[in-house]
Amino acid sequence: MSKSSRPPSSAPAAPVPTDASLEAMLAKALRKTPAEAVADPAQEHEPVAPEQQHCGYVAIVGKPNVGKSTLLNALVGQKISITSRKAQTTRHRITGYRTVGPNQFVFVDTPGFQTRHGNALNRALNKTVLGAVTDVDLILFVVEAGHFHPADAKVMELLPSNVPVVLLANKFDLVHRRGELAPWLKSMQEKHPFAEFVPMSAKNARDVERLFAICAKYLPQQAWMHDPEELTDRSERFMAAEMVREKLFRLTGDELPYTSTVVIDKFEEEGGLKRIAATIVVEREGHKGMVIGEKGEKLKRIGTEARQELEKIWDCKVFLELWVKVRSGWADDDARVRSFGYE
């Protein structure tokens, strides 16, 4: 992945935190510094001489539902990874690019690391996470501020010792007693030699801008790998399938998401129109009814919401046709999981 050469251990040595240093660190982290590293978007793509360019991979990892994809979208400045309040929303390694001044950030969103149900789908998701943390320049380890669950500990076990890791305490807006964060931070620092600590909210634009300045320090000096206008490595076809899956996640009950996926059957462009046919694959006959809903209402709503959002992102007309199919046991079947596009 990254072509930069890094010394074998670029993670700073673990400082032994004292209460005073922790308080100072927390105070510094909470101080809202101006986002000086982020240029005016209008100047984002000024030409930069290759010898002045910096470029690197920043992997975003964490347990399910901590806000990794929300963060990726905020960093890239456009929705390229779907989000929902349910776990296991992201199922692929999704790369998003952002070029700011001399810096090109290659952010890598990953599935939430799965600690339950060892089926073929979950094994594929975890393989994706493992692949994403090696050979990157920086890892953003995302947790919910003030929390540390066994599922977070499992992700922590994956953190390589030769890559700097930023502890990103997300959903900071939900922390009401901020004074209690210092002991939490101390306990976190004892678990891993984090290079930095960033309490923030992925939904707060200013916090996201501050994060660029933090990440920029870890980008090696090397030529950009992507056109600064490019946003992602993922195709429109992939985005279409993901958008349908997002609406399915958001509009159906808790039971369904884990056992459903979306396959694109047709993706055609005719002038300013994109014609898409997609199939929602579910595991059980009973699930089919849940997706279709009474008189087809649910399926219709999934289609309408996905179409409207795709039209907005692509700025063109979209014709979206949806089908529902039952493939029992697909998530337990390695070959099927692969055939549906999971690594």
Q: Which residues bind Mg ion (CB under 5 A)?
A: 68-69, 89-90
Across 126-152, b (16+ Cβ under 10 Å) vs e yields bebbeebbebbbbbbbbbbbbeeeebb
204 is in an annotated binding site: no
6 binds, among ligand GTP, Mg ion, none (CB under 5 to 8 A by kind): none
Residue nearer to ligand GTP on the CB measure, 64 or 101? 64
64 is in an annotated binding site: yes
28 is in an annotated binding site: no
Residue nearer to ligand GTP on the CB measure, 10 or 204? 204
Shortest distance, position 72 Cβ to ligand GTP, whole Å: 8
Q: Which residues bind ligand GTP (CB under 6 A)?
A: 62, 64-70, 83-85, 87-90, 111-112, 170-171, 173-174, 201-203
Sequence-distant (6+) residues with CB within 8 A of 339 are: none
70 binds, among ligand GTP, Mg ion, none (CB under 5 to 8 A by kind): ligand GTP
Shortest distance, position 81 Cβ to Mg ion, whole Å: 6
Sequence-distant (6+) residues with CB within 8 A of 7 are: none
Residue nearer to ligand GTP on the CB measure, 88 or 103? 88
Q: Classify 259 in phi/psi space as left (phi over 0), alpha (psi -120 to 50) or beta.
A: alpha
Across 272-303, b (16+ Cβ under 10 Å) vs e yields eebebbbbbbbbbeebbebbbeeeeebbeebb
279 binds, among Mg ion, ligand GTP, none (CB under 5 to 8 A by kind): none
Q: Classify 177 in phi/psi space as left (phi over 0), alpha (psi -120 to 50) or beta.
A: beta
79 is in an annotated binding site: no
263: which strand partners?
Answer: 279
193 is in an annotated binding site: no
Residue nearer to ligand GTP on the CB measure, 27 or 174? 174
Task: For residue 121, give the amino acid letter.
Answer: L
Packing angle of the helix pair 285-292, 297-314 (nearest 10 deg): 60
Shortest distance, position 247 Cβ to Mg ion, whole Å: 15
Residue nearer to ligand GTP on the CB measure, 242 or 283? 242
Sign of torsion over alpha carbons 175, 180, 182, 185:
negative
112 is in an annotated binding site: yes
**Known binding residues for GTP:** 62-69, 109-113, 170-173
